[in-house]
Amino acid sequence: MKRRSLLWGSGLALAAPRLALGQGNARTLRFVPQGNLANIDPIWTTTTLARNHALMVYDTLFGLGKDFQPKPQMAAGHEVSADGLTTTITLRADLRFHDGQPVLARDCIASIARWSKRDVLGQRLAALLEEMKPLADDRFQIVLKRPWHGLIWALGKPSANLCAIMPERVAQTDPFTQITEYVGSGPFRFRRSQWVPGSIAAYERFPGYVPRDEPPDFLAGGKVVHFDRVEWHVMPDPATAAAALQNNEIDWWETPLADLLPVLRRNRDIAVEVVNTAGALGMIRFNHLHPPFDRPEIRRAILPAIEQRSFMQAALGEDPALWQVPAGTFTPGTPLATDAGLEVLSSPRDPEAAKRALAAAGYKNERVVILSPTDFPTINALSEVAADTLRRIGMNVDLQAMDWGTLVQRRTKRESPAEGGWNIFCTTWEGLDVSVPGSHQPIRGNGAQGWTGWATSPRREALRDAWFDAPDLAAERKIAADIQMLVWDEAPFIPLGLLRPPQAYRRSLTNIVTGGPPLFWNVRRG
């Protein structure tokens, strides 16, 4: 064989699999998630990725519709007794776990019990619970000590921790220990043997799953799956993910970097759209234990200098479709979002007023340590704008860059900033989490028991408790407005705007369910 023939032959041999690759497997959806699915127990961890995984593998008794109201999902329906203390839930007849066993009332009770030890709303249930008991294989009762209007919403809550229904034997695992058996109840079966953490997680359509005979409605309705297989490909490098999407090696990328959006938009085969309309609320979180932010006057003084638009532009760019300002305490667009007192952030900005307020509050040029995660571009951008804003009003800012792993450890430190503690960090909260007071950690005022920052506010706690007892949506809205007014007064955190980062996907994908996290039912190719 001539040398040139050999070279040509090799080239053709290399090109042949390219042709096959370019066509892809039409029955497989290739998805690049926001990060590495490192753990898969949605009760053990509150990570968004574990929650997204759980939405595929586990079903829930109830699911939120687009109107953010709970609808029956595994439940055929429920009844609440006249005194509001007893809720009886009846299961659908055709529910099966991935091992083929039927879903029974005792599985649901064990799953709720495990969830209630970890989740913030679950803990509310645990505090109110008198007993849970099966009435039949497909019916069980939850008996409370006091009525709780929000029980059904809590069982269908879309944010971590999801009340995922597992077999009783799995759900009996200690909630602080990871489960070791991954038998789900949802439309996809997790292929644990093919899971390579940091690289790939594979799911196969569960043929035994019977969707509701209804059109899809966000996390409720019929979860009809049109792909035999869904693969999550972890790609730590955004440029690689962008190139892979353009090259038809993947179908869907959850978190394209803002800098790469123009390139993706230029490609006619790629759609760049907001899928998660609930978005994420950006915020500045203060440490309430140490000066200068141990005093509400100082925290409040910053408000006139906060230009939410600048934060959003730094995080996601100039396109206003990708963010929303003004944003208050609760996720804009959700039922409890309110304009109460919102002018503190929406009126013309006045850094000079902030300077005067700082001086009046007795700011003594204390060092302000801001923690900034360089491996989270969005949060890093928020942190840099926060630092710049505070410098402009004369604060002595020390912006400390670090990786996320260090930041989450550092922010648990209660020591003073001089001893390795901190004053401020910026973060984002899933819009679904901060849409109601029950799961809204930043509004909490439970001090040392609460979220990092350790804010103490009996008034906010009382309002939150009142929300649990609210009899209807109107009462909930009134309480939400009161909470927001209190947030402006006590400033446990400052909202920076609602981020709606777009997702990028091949135009061959249609019928993607929008509203929140990436969902893999209803979506189809072509």
Partner 1 sequence: MFAYAVRRVLATIPVMAIVALFVFSLLYIAPGDPAAVIAGDQATPQDVERIRASLGLDRPFLVRFGEWVWNILNGNMGVSIFTNLPVTTMIQQRIEPTLSLMVLTLCLAVSIAVPMGVIAAWKQGSWIDRAVMGFAVLGFSVPVFVVGYVLAYIFALELDWLPVQGYTAFREGFFPWLENLILPAIALGGVYIALIARITRATMLEVLQQDYIRTARAKGAGQRSILFLHALKNAAVPIVTVIGIGVALLIGGAVVTESVFAIPGLGRLTVDAILRRDYPVIQGVVLLFSFVYVLVNLLIDLLYTLFDPRIRY
Q: Which residues bind partner 1 (CB under 8 A)?
A: 13-18, 21-22, 36, 38-39, 44-48, 118, 120, 160, 176-178, 180, 196-200, 233-237, 239-241, 243-244, 246-247, 249, 375, 402-406, 408-412, 414, 427, 429, 433, 441, 448-452
User: To the nearest whole angstrom, how small is the minimum distance from the Cβ of residue 91 to partner 1?
Assistant: 29
Q: Running DSSP on this structure, what letter comes out for residue 515?
A: S
DSSP symbol at 384? H
Q: DSSP letters of 179-193?
A: -S-----SSEEE-GG
CB nearer to partner 1: pick between 243 and 257: 243
Q: Taking phi first (over 0 means left), then psi (-120 to 50 degrees means alpha), and beta for anything else, what does residue 410 get? A: alpha
Question: Which residue's CB is nearer to partner 1, number 217 or number 251?
Answer: 251
Characterise 402 by phi-psi region: left (phi > 0), alpha (psi -120 to 50), beta (else).
beta
- Taking the complex as a whole, how short is the minimal distance between the CB of residue 271 and partner 1, in angstroms? 19
* Prior bond of 365 cis (ω within 30°): no
DSSP letter (8 states) at residue 311: H
For partner 1, the closer CB: 72 or 256? 256
Say which residues have a Cβ less than 8 Å from residue 145's Cβ, sequence separation at least 6: 85, 128, 129, 130
User: In the complex with partner 1, which residue's Cβ is closer, 61 or 407?
Assistant: 407
Q: Select 140 or 429, whichever has its Cβ closest to partner 1.
A: 429
Q: How far is the CB of 386 from partner 1 (least distance, A)?
A: 17
CB closer to partner 1 out of 167 and 221? 167
Q: Which strand (E) or helix (H) includes residue 170?
A: helix 168-171
Q: Are 115 and 43 in contact (CB under 8 A)?
A: yes
Nearer to partner 1, 13 or 82 (CB): 13
Nearest approach in angstroms of CB 37 to partner 1 is: 9
CB of 44 to partner 1, least distance (A): 8
Spatial distance between the Cα atoms of 101 and 181, rounded to a whole number of angstroms: 14
In contact, 289 and 273? CB cutoff 8 Å: no
Helices (H) and strands (E) in the chain, counts: 16, 21
Measured from the CB of residue 326, what is the shortest distance to partner 1 in angstroms? 23
Question: CA nearest 518: which of 290, 249, 203?
Answer: 203
Q: How far is the CB of 4 from partner 1 (least distance, A)?
A: 18
